[in-house]
Amino acid sequence: MRLSVALAASAAVITCALPALANGRFPASNQFLFSPSNPDVIWLRATYGILPSTDNGASWAYLCEDVIGLLSAGGSGYEDPALGMMANGNVIATDSLGLNVSSDMGCDWTCTGNGNSALKGQSFIDLAVFPSDASKAVALTSTYITNDSSTSDTYAQVFETTDNGATWAAVGPPIDPSVNVQTIDVPNSDPSRIYVSGTRGYGLAKTASLFMYTTASGSNGPWVEQLITPFDNTTEDSVYIAAVDPNDADLVYLRSSGLATGGQSRLYVTSDASSDAGAVFNVPQSASFDVPEAGYAIVGELQGFALSQDGTKVYVGTKESGLWMASASDLQFEQTNSKIHVECLATRPGSSNELWACSDAVSGFVAGVSTDDGATFTSKLCSVTGMTGVVACPANPSGPVGCAADGNAAAVCMDSYNTVCLLDSLDSECTPCSEEGGASSSGGGGSSSGGSSSGGATSSGAPTKAKSSSCGFSAGDSGGTGGALGGLLLTGLALVRRRGRGLR
């Protein structure tokens, strides 16, 4: 993200070909967050920062990752934070540098570890807000430790808050230090359960498991491990919790990532996650995707996953094959949209039919919403130039700052914002693309639908060019030199950013 102006200028021909940066890493490089208390508040996480909207996606501001130290002297810049939005409006962000809480929508952040010795110095891998009570959340650590034999293990411990992130306490014992944990989730129908996914070993000795802990009846027992027997260490690398059915705490969906040398990215489903006899993990064949050898460019991965709010529909997607849907009763997936490059999926709480997707400007939008199961999408953000500017924050030089951060959003975000704009356009500022329109994307054989006020389309459905673009590139242009050079830039950016590890 923090690229020098000199680098941006030297790559001018590539940046002209690419109308928006998009995250091609697995699991979901982008993440939608919907406020549980304010229907107008949506946050979108991306490789180039965090984009808050306070008007239901009509406009998007910019918040840099410097506010939680990811690009400061103490940060690697190679990860995306896991984010959670709480009942009282607080936002929680976790990463390898610690746990941060903001009470003013991202302007100022408090490093919670500074006041909690148990959290101090911990690296956090994932975060999940309780769907049944958004004042509660759990965060999972993965902190490297050195044991007596001088070999490295991890300290994997779950911490819980019941007061919107103000205080935290450990829940249950640490997970076996030989496990490389990846994701955490809590079922809606049984908030006493906590699920964690992880792998053991390396290479041909690697196995994958789903771990469960319960707080019911004051339990202080061990983590129960369910081995994912179909996991194939010759083709798969890691396993991530995708979702838990909203009505059945035993019905858990997981997805795997393929090896960088080539393999498969697959969906796993178990309907007996707490079984004493051992859970059975099924693999729907229509939800297995080949992953070619790619090195740093992650292609073929099952990046998007979402459940309908009632749990009856399952959506999956990849950048290459588009969007697929199945009934949860039979898991027979059918392609509903072949044109969009899926980078994340989410269904909106409280809505019966809103499916949100992260994509790229080549597909017609960076953020879009569908009300017909993904057959068509209305653009909510057509490109990076759709941002309206840095989040408006008062200067607060004496206020709290995030873990390893140097200041609040007002102090540290402008340089990053200007750099992002340079990557999208040679202009010196971002002009909202909604002033001239965006695009809607339709599935194979369908026609484009009209856009909304947040990024409309021409009467023919063809996308219009953002005012600030000086590259002569249409948001609907998916071929030719522009597409090839755009892919080249994405591959280059992947060299300096590792795969994100949070799925929400």
Q: What is the pLDDT of residues 387-429, one digit of tens each?
A: 888 999 988 888 889 998 889 999 999 988 888 777 654 333 4
pLDDT at 153: 81
Q: Is the pLDDT of residue 84 over 90?
A: yes
pLDDT at 237: 95
Query: In terms of Cα–Cα distance, which of 451, 424, 447 is closest to 439?
Result: 451
Mean pLDDT of 257-283: 94
Query: In terms of Cα–Cα distance, which of 126, 129, 214 is closest to 164?
Result: 129
Poorest-pLDDT segment among 135-149, 169-183, 401-415, 455-469: 455-469
Q: Is the pLDDT of residue 438 over 60?
A: no
Mean pLDDT of 120-131: 95
Poorest-pLDDT segment among 25-34, 92-101, 347-356: 25-34
Positive or negative torsion for Cα 364, 367, 369, 370: positive
Residue whose pair of structure tokens reads 């402008």 in the numeric block: 414
Pairing label, strands 60-62, 387-390: parallel
Separation between Cα atoms, residue 240 and residue 100, nearest integer Å? 23
pLDDT at 219: 64
Positive or negative torsion for Cα 170, 176, 181, 187: negative
Of residues 21 and 187, which shows the higher confidence score?
187
pLDDT at 399: 81
pLDDT at 501: 36
pLDDT at 387: 86
The answer to whether 80 and 47 have CB atoms below 8 angstroms apart is yes
Mean pLDDT of 126-139: 97
| Cα–Cα separations (whole angstroms), residue 416 to 94, 283, 431, 493 | 20, 42, 16, 15
Mean pLDDT of 5-15: 29
Separation between Cα atoms, residue 444 and residue 437, nearest integer Å? 23
Which amino acid, 63? L
Separation between Cα atoms, residue 396 and residue 189, nearest integer Å? 42
Q: What is the per-residue burial (b if ≥16 Cβ within 10 Å, else e) of 136-174?
A: bbbbbbbbeeeeeeeeebbebbbbbbeebbbebeeebee
- pLDDT tier at 241, thresholds 50, 70, 90: very high
Separation between Cα atoms, residue 311 and residue 329, nearest integer Å? 10
The answer to whether 152 and 142 have CB atoms below 8 angstroms apart is no
Which secondary-structure segment (H or E) carries 417?
helix 414-424
What is the gyration radius of the CA atoms in the chain, in angstroms? Answer: 21
Enumerate the β-bridge partners of residue 44. Answer: 32, 51
Residue whose pair of structure tokens reads 């909203």 in the numeric block: 246
Query: In terms of Cα–Cα distance, which of 346, 246, 319 is closest to 43?
Result: 346
Furthest-apart CA pair in the chain: how many Å? Answer: 69
Separation between Cα atoms, residue 304 and residue 325, nearest integer Å? 11
The answer to whether 127 and 140 have CB atoms below 8 angstroms apart is yes
Q: Is the pLDDT of residue 152 over 90?
A: no
- pLDDT tier at 299, thresholds 50, 70, 90: low
pLDDT digits (tens, 9 = 90+) for 474-497: 223 333 323 333 333 333 333 222
- pLDDT tier at 28, thresholds 50, 70, 90: very low
What average pLDDT is seen over the chain? 78
